[in-house]
Homo-oligomer: A and B are copies of this chain.
C-alpha cells in the first residue's frame, strides 16, 4: 500500500505541474536565484500570517473581513499590512491601462483648481442637503468674470446651470463653507463604498456614477494651466510607486482644450506638446534626485468614445495618424472607450477601422489598435462579442478582456500570438464585475498562459493610487500566485508595451536590476525567524 500511495502522490505532483504548465512564470521556477526563492517563501509566509492575524478577525466596523475583499471597505486595513509595504516597494514595470484624466490624486487636482482665478462652477439646480451627494458640479474658466444669480450653488436664488466663480461658490457654500464644498467636490469625483456596495451595486448603476466623475473633472483636466501640471504629477506619482514606463489613454473626444483665458482653442497637437514637456520636466526632477534610471518614458494611447458614429470616427482616426506622424515617439496606439454594455459595439466601426489599418500600413507607421473589449459580465452579448472583433482587428493588447475566460479559442490566440490582457483588478471589482478578488477570473487566464499585465484604470476615482493596491489584491487572493508571479506580470508589462526594441531591452534590463535589488532587500530585511522558517520549508 505504501508504494501505491507514493505512486499516487507522484502522479498528483505531475498532474499539478502539467495543469500549471502554461503559466508564464512556470518556466522561471527552476531557474530562480536563491534569494528569489527565499523572497517568494517569505511573502507566502507573511501572507499566511496576515490572513490569520488580520483578515480572519471579527470587527464591529468591518463586518466581513477576508483577503481580497471589497477594496473601498478594506483600504485602511490594507495600508497597515506588511504585504502592502512589500508590494509598494516592488518595481512594477509598465502601466499600460489608465485613463489619464482619472489618474492623479483628487485632492491635488482640487488644489490646482483653487489656484486658478478664472475657474467657475455650476450645478444643474440648487444644491440642497437632500440632493447634495447626487448633484455633480461642472467647472470651466471664463476670461470675463461671470456670476449667476445667487451667491453660491446652495443659494435658493441660484439659477440652474449658472456659472459662479469657484472661490465665491466655495466660500459661501451653505453646507460647511469651504471645507464642506471641498468634501462635496471630492465625493463627486470618486466612488465611495456606500455607492459601490449599496446604492449603485450593479454594473449598470455604478457606471452611471463612474461616468459622472469624469464629467465633473473634465472642466479642470481640460484646462491648459492645469493640464500640464496634472501630467507631470501623474508621471512622478507613478514613478514613486515603482512604475518606470506608462502608456496612459487620453480621451481626444473634445477637439479643443480650454486655454488659459477660458477659450476652447487648444488643438490636440498642443496637448501632445504639453505631454512632451511634462516628460522633460519629470526627467529633470529625477536627474536632480539621481533617480534617472527609474523612468523610461511615457506614450499616449489615443482614444475617442464609443458613442460617436462610424462616420465621425474617421476624423479621429485621421487625427491620430496626423499626430503619430508629427510625434512618432508619443503616440502608442488607438482605442475607443465607454461602457461596452451600452455603447456601440466594435462591429459598428469595422469599416473605418479596416481603412485605418490599411492607411497605417501604407504610411509605414507603427500605430496599432489597442482595444478595450470584454469588460462585461455578458456571455455572448455585444460587449462580450467585442473580443472577437478586437482580435480579428489585430489588437496589440486587450483592454480588460474580463470575459475572455469564456472563450477557449480566443485565449489560445492570445497565448500563441503574444496578445496581453490589461487586467484591472480593483476597477473590475468596484465597477461590479467581480464582487471581490477571489471571484475575479484572473487565475483562469494565468493558468491558460495568457500574458497578463496589471493596471489601475482610474486610480483617482477608486482611491487606489499607483499599482500597489492592484498588485496587493492579486497577491492575497490566490495561493498559487506568489511574488514570482507578480514579477512575471511586471516583466510582461514591459514586454508587451509599445516600446521600440532597443528601448524595451533597456527597460527590461533596468527593471531586472531593480527587481534583484528589491528581492535582496526583502531577504536581508526579513526578520531572522521568517527567513529561517522559509529556508526550512
Q: Which residues of B contact A15 (CB under 8 A)?
A: 388, 391-392, 409
Q: Which residues of B contact A66 (CB under 8 A)?
A: 202, 204
Q: Does the CB pair B5–A380 fall under 8 Å?
A: no
Q: Which residues of B contact A201 (CB under 8 A)?
A: 64
**How far is B5's CA from A351's CA once the two chains are assembled, in angstroms?**
7
A379 lies within 8 A of chain B by Cβ: yes
Q: Does the CB pair B439–A379 fall under 8 Å?
A: no
Q: Which residues of B contact A477 (CB under 8 A)?
A: 379
Q: Which residues of B contact A388 (CB under 8 A)?
A: 12, 15-16, 19
Interface 9-mer from A136-144, A298-306, A440-448, A520-528: A440-448
Q: Does the CB pair A407–B4 fall under 8 Å?
A: no
Q: A408-B19, A435-B439 are in contact. Are A8 and B354 (CB under 8 A)?
A: yes
Q: A1-B354, A5-B350, A409-B19 are in contact. Are A64 and B389 (CB under 8 A)?
A: no
Interface 9-mer from A186-194, A222-230, A264-272, A478-486: A478-486
CB nearest to A199 among chain B residues: B63
A152 lies within 8 A of chain B by Cβ: no
A455 lies within 8 A of chain B by Cβ: no
Q: Which residues of B contact A322 (CB under 8 A)?
A: none
Q: A354-B4, A354-B8, A435-B439 are in contact. Are A380 and B478 (CB under 8 A)?
A: yes
A510 lies within 8 A of chain B by Cβ: no
- Kindly provide the distance from the CB of A345 to the nearest chain B CB, expressed in whole angstroms: 12
**How far is B388's CA from A480's CA once the two chains are assembled, in angstroms?**
14
**How far is B64's CA from A199's CA once the two chains are assembled, in angstroms?**
9
- Kindly provide the distance from the CB of A385 to the nearest chain B CB, expressed in whole angstroms: 8
A378 lies within 8 A of chain B by Cβ: yes
Against B, the Cβ 8 Å flags (1 = close, 0 = not) of A204-226 are 11000000000000000000000
A360 lies within 8 A of chain B by Cβ: no
- Size category of the A interface is 35 or more
Q: Does the CB pair B434–A480 fall under 8 Å?
A: no
**How far is B481's CA from A333's CA once the two chains are assembled, in angstroms?**
35
CB nearest to A18 among chain B residues: B409
- Kindly provide the distance from the CB of A134 to the nearest chain B CB, expressed in whole angstroms: 15
Q: A19-B408, A354-B4, A408-B447 are in contact. Are A64 and B205 (CB under 8 A)?
A: yes
CB nearest to A481 among chain B residues: B379
Q: Does the CB pair B438–A378 fall under 8 Å?
A: yes
* A358-387 residues at the B interface, CB under 8 angstroms: 377-381, 384-385
- Kindly provide the distance from the CB of A24 to the nearest chain B CB, expressed in whole angstroms: 13
Q: Does the CB pair A406–B16 fall under 8 Å?
A: no
- Kindly provide the distance from the CB of A469 to the nearest chain B CB, expressed in whole angstroms: 19
CB nearest to A391 among chain B residues: B15
A22 lies within 8 A of chain B by Cβ: yes
A323 lies within 8 A of chain B by Cβ: no
Against B, the Cβ 8 Å flags (1 = close, 0 = not) of A12-35 are 100110110110000000000000
**How far is B376's CA from A479's CA once the two chains are assembled, in angstroms?**
13
**How far is B384's CA from A480's CA once the two chains are assembled, in angstroms?**
10
A355 lies within 8 A of chain B by Cβ: yes
**How far is B446's CA from A379's CA once the two chains are assembled, in angstroms?**
11
A410 lies within 8 A of chain B by Cβ: yes
**How far is B380's CA from A351's CA once the two chains are assembled, in angstroms?**
45
* A28-49 residues at the B interface, CB under 8 angstroms: none
A11 lies within 8 A of chain B by Cβ: yes
- Kindly provide the distance from the CB of A238 to the nearest chain B CB, expressed in whole angstroms: 28
Q: A378-B479, A438-B378 are in contact. Are A447 and B406 (CB under 8 A)?
A: yes
Partner of A439, one of B64, B199, B377, B406: B377
Against B, the Cβ 8 Å flags (1 = close, 0 = not) of A434-469 are 110011010110011000000000000000000000
Q: Does the CB pair B354–A448 fall under 8 Å?
A: no
- Kindly provide the distance from the CB of A413 to the nearest chain B CB, expressed in whole angstroms: 9
Q: Which residues of B contact A392 (CB under 8 A)?
A: 8, 11-12, 15
Q: Which residues of B contact A405 (CB under 8 A)?
A: 405, 441, 444
Q: Which residues of B contact A16 (CB under 8 A)?
A: 385, 388
**How far is B19's CA from A438's CA once the two chains are assembled, in angstroms?**
26
Q: Which residues of B contact A409 (CB under 8 A)?
A: 15, 18-19, 21
**How far is B434's CA from A377's CA once the two chains are assembled, in angstroms?**
12
Q: Does the CB pair B22–A408 fall under 8 Å?
A: yes
Q: Does the CB pair A447–B407 fall under 8 Å?
A: yes
Q: A19-B408, A392-B12 are in contact. Are A434 and B443 (CB under 8 A)?
A: no
Interface centre among A199, A201, A447 (most CB of B within 10 A): A447
Partner of A435, one of B19, B378, B435: B435
5 smallest CB-CB distances across A and B, nearest first, come from A380-B480, A380-B479, A379-B478, A377-B438, A19-B409
Q: Can you list 5 contacts pairing A with B, beta carbon distance less than 8 Å?
A: A4-B354, A15-B388, A407-B447, A408-B447, A433-B439
Spell out A's residues near B (CB within 8 Å): 1, 4-5, 8-9, 11-12, 15-16, 18-19, 21-22, 63-64, 66, 199, 201-202, 204-205, 350-351, 354-355, 377-381, 384-385, 388-389, 391-392, 405-410, 433-435, 438-439, 441, 443-444, 447-448, 477-481
